[in-house]
Structure 1
Amino acid sequence: MTASATMPAPLSTTARSLAPDLARGIMLLGIALAHAPQFLLDWTRGSAVLNTIAHFFTTLVTDNQARGMFVFLFGYGLGQLARRQYARGAEWPSVRALLRRRSVWLIVIGLAHAVVLVPFDVIAVYGVTMLSLAFLVRARDAVLWRLGLLTLIPGALFLTWQSVQVYTTAAEGSPFTIAKYMEPTFVEHLLTNAIAWPGRTLVSILFAIPGMAWGLLAARKKILDEPGQHVALLKRIALLCVGAAVVGRLPAAFLAVGTWTDVATPVVWVTYAAHSFTGYIGGIGAAAAIGLAAVRIGQNHGRLTTALAALGQRSMTFYLAQSVVWVALFYPFTLGLRDDLSFAAGLAIAVVMWAASIPVAVWMQRKGYRGPFEALVRRMSYR
């Protein structure tokens, strides 16, 4: 019997665990807040007080930390998928075939996203990572731990270099953002993004591997699927990781807004290295905190919990929808607002965009609609 003939069907939305979906729904806000400043040319426009508060908040909470939560949840979802297939009687050849098909379609969607919309793509990165490292689904726990630690170093160091560039150019009045490199026409936009896509994707794999490895480990233990069975562990992870993130990222936040001045270059690098390294673990700590919240919520889901979970179940679709909004608002060949809005206004747009996506997700949930891109990937993966 062929692998495709024995492939179990995907899990229905009614059987999903709350904590991972709740985390994905909240994560979309973090991603929107982290991306918004990248579409602005001038971070000093508007109210200095509001901009300072907004810049401090993003540096402390979202920059290089929302990504950590994103990739951890990706690894967790991969582990869930594999575990459920094995539980339904699938063997490794059919699971591997499923992962390969899923990977290919993630790469296709991610490529289209990065070329047509914005270059901040993680979907193709997940696809390439899954395609090349699918064997990690069967790796021993020790291998996953070591791989995560080993790849954390180059990934965090690259993020450190990026952060130092942003800090230096922002201090000079011209922040290092994508807004500086937007093409004047849509055709040039497509060509530039297509040329840059392979390099960006390969470099970004470094950021995905630690979260993928540790997410796989967490999924094996069902830490977010059954958070009530792991309360003590979740408390330790949340306290230690979030605490370390606050301590490790506060200096960079003070540095970013100019509260801490006359800093030597080596100290700037050390400060942003701490910011990047603790951002990874802070994202994992945030996921653990949401797991604890899911325990407290229990089975009595209120409207907000149900709405955020509905959003999380369609995280790919609404992640792509965010990029549509960015293009429509900020690029020169659309509304071209990149030089018209303040840093704080950019964050306000991010919040409004995320909030507006929630009722849409609820409506889709009531109608029984999956996100169109989630449905596409499932349909092509399971044939």
Structure 2
Amino acid sequence: MTTPAPRALAPDLARGTMLLAIAFAHAPLFVLAVDHGQALANGVSLVFHDLFVHNHARPMFAFLFGYALVQLLDRRTAHGDDSADVRSMLRRRGLWLLAFGLVHLLLVPIDILAAYGIASLLLVGLLKVRDRTLLWVGALTLVPGTLASAVPMLLALGQGVSVLDVGSVAAPAGTDPGEQYAQRLVGAPFGMVIGTVLVAPGVIAGMWAARRGLLEEPTRHRAFLVRAVWVTMTVSALGALPSALAQTGLWTPASTAAAWGTAVLQPLTGYFGGFGMAGLIALVAIRAARAQGPLTTAVSALGQRSMTFYLFQSVVFVAVFSPLALGLQDRMGLAASLGVAALTWLVSVLAAETMRRRGYRGPAENLLRRLVGPAYPARSSVTGRCHSAASARSRTITRRVLPPRRGPLW
């Protein structure tokens, strides 16, 4: 029998929590009108969504994806693999993620797997550059990433509607499914380019953080994480406040410049909010690791199966909202859709914990491992032999393979 190699708690806990943020971000896009239903509940939900979810969940997901790339590189080089071979494996993995994303489009018009696949192909080379280069490239990618996110927000402000209405993917009843998929494929190249632009800053930030082990060793970096979380979350909340006020009708931009400023500020600071949420979960993991309860274990199990349950969310949302299934897209507003998202996440937690107890990794993860090939990270025996030796070796090998870590953390 085999079991997965020991894993740090914080990254998996962050990935499990991230799926809740992703569910909150995607579920409202499946309803026809977010203002359907009780006005006060929808208004409160809109403020919550704008401050903590919209343009926050995606950067957090991207941050953790970039973090995982470095983890995979470290793990393989610690076992003696050549770093160039590992980067080649990561690019091959990216190609399969791109394929997964195209198949995913059969089910829903929202996909991020293809964008991460392309990001792997384009950004894996940054794993060998120095920190200064990494940070400069990350800063430069913030410009197109922010502008791409600002356009839907600007359209929403101009039309006096929620940005969620602008981004809605709800299909009217009677739409032909085959025609829908054909339209998605036609727009897929453009969508994947935009998606890659949106996730690139987060992926690069995750690489930088992983070089320092911020999530794997949160206790050692606790002081830095506390400062970083306070700064990023404060900046994020303040940056999203004008957008939230405008979309709820409590404030109206008085000029084109004010509208552009509002539209740009929300996604720009949203990147910081996504990074801050990952850091906040790392701080939570410090306490959780001391007395790991059943909820922590279950959410961590969900994080280890994040791709499986990301795809599971799509299945649920189609079943609930699609006219071909329950067809609730015209009967729910924002508040109700967030309730569906939360319930979907809770079911995912229970299912992931069941898989953990049975020693089952997850169907999507297992398939990806088989497709990528034998160079994918191996499993260790239940006796754990060689694990301590590999851990000791990793400190030496990682120093040789990865670029020097220069300067202070912040």
Scaled by the length of structure 1, what TM-score is found?
0.92
Letter in structure 1 aligned against 2:113: I
Q: 2:137 aligns with which of 144, 147, 153?
A: 147
Q: In the alignment, is the contact (CA less than 8 A) between 1:42 and 1:173 conserved in 2? A: no
- 1:68 is matched with which residue: 59, 62, 72? 59
Who is 1:4 aligned against? none
The answer to whether the 8 A contact 2:115-2:195 is kept is: yes
Q: CA deviation at 1:64?
A: 0.3
Counterpart Cα distance in 2 of 1:54 and 1:317: 27
Q: Secondary structure at the match of 2:219?
A: helix
SS at match of 1:119: coil
Q: Distance in 1 between matches of 2:16 and 2:164?
A: 33
State how 1:194-273 maps to structure 2 within 5 Å.
194-261=185-252, 263-273=254-264
Q: Out of 102, 113, 123, which is 1:133 matched to?
A: 123
Say whether the 8 Å CA contact 2:162–2:247 is kept in structure 1.
no
| Counterparts of 1:298 and 1:38, CA distance in 2 | 36
Could you tell me which runs of 5 or more consecutive residues in structure 1 were left unpaired when the two chains were aligned.
Answer: 1-10
The partner residue of 1:29 within 12, 20, 23 is: 20
Contact 2:246 2:253 in 1 (8 A): no
**Structure 1 residues 33-42 or 47-56, which shifts more?**
33-42
Distance 1:177 1:170 in 2: 14
Pick the aligned partner of 1:311 from 290, 299, 302.
302
Structure 2 CA distance, aligned partners of 1:48 and 1:342? 9
Among 99, 104, 108, the alignment partner of 2:90 is 99
Q: How far apart, in 1, do the equivalents of 2:169 and 2:135 lie?
A: 38
- Of Structure 1 and Structure 2, the greater helix share is in 1
Tell me if the contact between 2:307 and 2:364 (Cα under 8 Å) persists in the aligned partners.
yes
Asked whether the 8 Å contact 1:185–1:332 carries over to 2, the reply is no
Post-superposition Cα deviations, 1:328-370, rounded to whole Å, max 9, x if no partner, equal 2222333322212122111111111111111101000000011
After superposition, give the CA deviation of every residue in 1:79-138 in whole Å (9 maximum; x if it has no partner).
100111111111123212211221121111111112x12222111111111112221111
Letter paired with 1:84: R
Mapped pair 1:274 → 2:265? yes
SS at match of 1:228: coil
User: Is 1:165 matched up with 2:170?
Assistant: no
Question: What code does the residue aligned with 1:188 have?
Answer: E
User: Which structure 2 segments of 5+ residues have no match?
Assistant: 375-410
The answer for the alignment partner of 1:295 in structure 2 is 286
Shift of 1:172: 9.0
1:329 aligns with 2:320: yes
Aligned partner of 1:362 in structure 2 is 353
Q: In the alignment, what sits opposite 2:402?
A: none
1:258-290 deviation line (CA, Å, top 9, x unaligned): 111364332122112111111001110111111
Give the residue type in structure 1 aligned to 2:261: V
How many residue pairs match? The answer is 372
Shift of 1:241: 0.6
- Determine whether 1:111 maps to 2:102: yes
| 1:282-302 deviation per Cα after TM superposition (whole angstroms, max 9, x unaligned) | 110111111111112224210
Q: Which AA in structure 2 matches 1:190?
A: Y
Distance verdict in 2 for CA 1:299–1:345, change over 3 Å: same
8 Å CA contact 2:138–2:201 kept in 1: the answer is: yes
Partner of residue 176, structure 1: 166
Q: Distance in 1 between matches of 2:126 and 2:241?
A: 35
Counterparts of 1:228 and 1:341, CA distance in 2: 43
* TM-score of the aligned structures, taking structure 2 as reference length: 0.87
